[in-house]
Amino acid sequence: MLPRPRTSAGVLVRASFLGIALLGGVAPAVAAPAALPSLPAGAGPNAGGAVDIEQLRRGVVQVEQGGRPMAVGTVLSKDGRVLTSLSALGSIENPEIRYSDNTVVKAKVGHKDKNWDLALLVPQTGKWLDGLKPTDSDPSAVDIKAFLPKGGKLAASAVQLKGRTDARSKDGDPLRGVLDLDFKGLQGIPGAPLLDPDGKVVGVVVRACKETGAAAPSPGGGDKADSGAAPAPPCSPMTIGAPVAALRGFLMKTPTTAVQPAPWLGLGGAPTESGSVKGIRVMGIAPGSPAEKAGLKAAGDNPDTIVAVDGQPVETPEQLADLIGKRSIGQNVKLLVFSQGKFREAAVTLRAAP
């Protein structure tokens, strides 16, 4: 079997929310599957110009299944994965993500937390990197906005933070210090990011149950060891904000397998130099690989030499692997190839390794 180029695409940054940005933006109202609407001028937070509305728009996605909207999602900056509400997905493990340019990609649930109603979606193609940064500042000291349905579109609408409160999960586990929100008559959409006036994320809208005190005793009384744990009290639903601390805790527990598939070129090579031309001589090509479909030739009397990737020179297999690893599955790349004393361009569409 031919060795695959080494790539950094599959390396997981486990603490991805500890220092990276969280994306935020605009998606269509979840009430109907439609193209993403344009955001009216002045509708975003701090509309005087400090926040780039287009940047916000590119960061929030619509999570759907077969064109049916289910939730809003927040993309992790320079990461591509999407944070959303778990309960909004129901039993669906492979939802679709609709981006602000109306591109739809398949995804799968890579990590979930029933208590905090959070899910991390892993796109199976593409790479969406724009984003916003989270903040640890006190959200009670600033005006908060959230992307909510208004007039048939999602717009950055004012949300009142009534304070911190305690809630519980559907299974009865305590959730401490959640953001108690007043949506001012609008529908709180699960998965929507909550933003401060600078466009920084202070939380994400999720579902929980109201805190009702201790659970009722088990029927017949007696010790829990004898009668079993008391059932959780009935859930009185409420929509809350999961604070940044909860989001970070969730992401730190992400399994190492919850990463986007690495792009694959499907060839083996070695450094070579022919006169003033330096590059990577193609030594072997995997059958059915993107390299084979692009018409690259290996070995023999006139093997191809890869000189550049999208205009960036490469002289070693490691450099080639690094550049390919920064691309994504489904993306087209242009290879500058030298063979028989001539240069040519080969277009390659990357895919996942078999």
pLDDT tens across 169-210, in order? 999 999 999 999 999 888 889 999 998 888 888 999 999 999
Q: Are both 38 and 116 inside the same structural domain?
A: yes
Do 331 and 230 belong to one domain?
no
pLDDT at 38: 34
Look at residue 2 and tell me if it is in a domain: no
Q: Give bridge partners of residue 149 from the DSSP assignment.
A: 154
Residue 244 lies in a domain: yes
In a domain, 110, yes or no: yes
Tell me the HSE value of 203 on the side-chain side, using a 13 A CA sphere: 29
In a domain, 257, yes or no: no
Residue spans of beta strands (DSSP E) within the chain:
60-65, 68-75, 82-85, 96-98, 104-113, 118-123, 144-150, 153-168, 174-182, 193-195, 201-210, 237-243, 263-264, 267-274, 277-285, 305-309, 312-313, 332-339, 342-349, 351-352
Q: What is the pLDDT of residue 147?
A: 76
Tens of pLDDT, residues 304-336? 999 999 999 999 999 999 899 888 888 899 999
The reply to whether 186 and 58 lie within a common domain is yes
User: What is the mean predicted confidence (pLDDT) over 124-131?
Assistant: 78
Q: What is the dihedral of CA 39, 40, 45, 47, to 10 degrees?
A: 140
Same domain, 268 and 203: no
What per-residue confidence (pLDDT) applies to 152? 66
What are the distances in angstroms from CA 312 to CA 35, 129, 183, 307, 322? 36, 21, 50, 8, 11
Query: How many other C-beta atoms lie within 10 A of the C-beta of residue 312?
Result: 12
Who has greater pLDDT, 149 or 66? Answer: 66
3, part of any domain: no
Here the CATH number for the domain that contains residue 300 is 2.30.42.10
Bridge partners, residue 85, by sequence:
118
- Summarize pLDDT for 247-303 with one digit per residue, the tens: 999 999 999 999 888 889 999 999 988 778 899 999 999 999 999 999 999 877 788
pLDDT tens-digit map of 72-109 = 998 887 788 999 999 999 999 999 999 888 889 999 99
Domain match, 271 and 247 both: no
- Say how many CA atoms lie within 13 Å of 131 toward its Cβ: 25
Last residue of a domain, one of 252, 273, 295: 252
pLDDT, residue 141, reads 85
Q: How many domains does the chain have?
A: 2
H and E: helices and strands count for the chain: 6, 20
DSSP 8-class letter at 76: B
Instruction: Please report the pLDDT score of residue 230 as a whole number.
Output: 66
Domain of 289, in residue numbers: 263-352
- pLDDT score of 271: 92
Same domain membership, residue 308 and residue 200: no
Q: What is the pLDDT of residues 12-63, one digit of tens each?
A: 333 334 433 333 333 333 333 333 333 333 334 444 445 676 777 788 888 9
Strand, helix or coil at 252?
helix
Q: Percentage of the chain surpassing pLDDT 70?
A: 79
Tell me, yes or no, whether 244 and 270 share the same domain. Answer: no
Q: How far apart are CA 182 and CA 28, in angstroms?
A: 22
The confidence band for 64, taking pLDDT boundaries of 50, 70 and 90, is very high
Bridge-partner residues for 333, per DSSP?
A: 348
Final residue before a domain boundary, out of 197, 220, 252: 252
Instruction: At 52, give phi and psi (nearest 5°).
Output: -80, 110
What is the distance between the alpha carbons of residues 108 and 228, in angstroms, rounded to a whole number? Answer: 36
DSSP state of 341: T
The CATH number given to whatever domain includes residue 99 is 2.40.10.120
The widest CA-to-CA distance across the chain, in whole angstroms, is: 90
Is the dihedral angle over the CA atoms 227, 229, 231, 233 positive or is it negative? positive
Residue 11 belongs to some domain of the structure: no
Half-sphere exposure of 249 (CA within 13 A, CB side): 11
Q: Which of 117-126, 147-156, 181-190, 269-278 has the lowest mean pLDDT?
A: 147-156
Residues 49 and 156 grouped into a single domain: yes
d(CA 154, CA 192): 10
Q: Is 307 found in the same domain as 231?
A: no
- Going by pLDDT thresholds of 50, 70 and 90, the confidence category of residue 65 is very high
Burial class (CB in 10 A: 0-12, 13-18, 19+), 222: exposed
**pTM for the full model?**
0.73
Structure confidence at residue 207 (pLDDT)? 96
Residue 8 in any domain: the answer is no
Using only C-alpha atoms, the chain has a radius of gyration, in whole angstroms, of: 25
Last residue of a domain, one of 224, 252, 280: 252
Q: Give the model's pLDDT for residue 6.
A: 38
Domain match, 217 and 87 both: yes
Q: What is the pLDDT of residue 89?
A: 96
The structure tokens listed for 68 are: 């049916």
In this structure, the answer to whether residues 177 and 222 fall within a common structural domain is yes
Segment 203-251, tens digit of pLDDT: 999 999 998 765 444 444 444 445 556 676 789 999 999 999 999 999 9
316, 346: one domain = yes
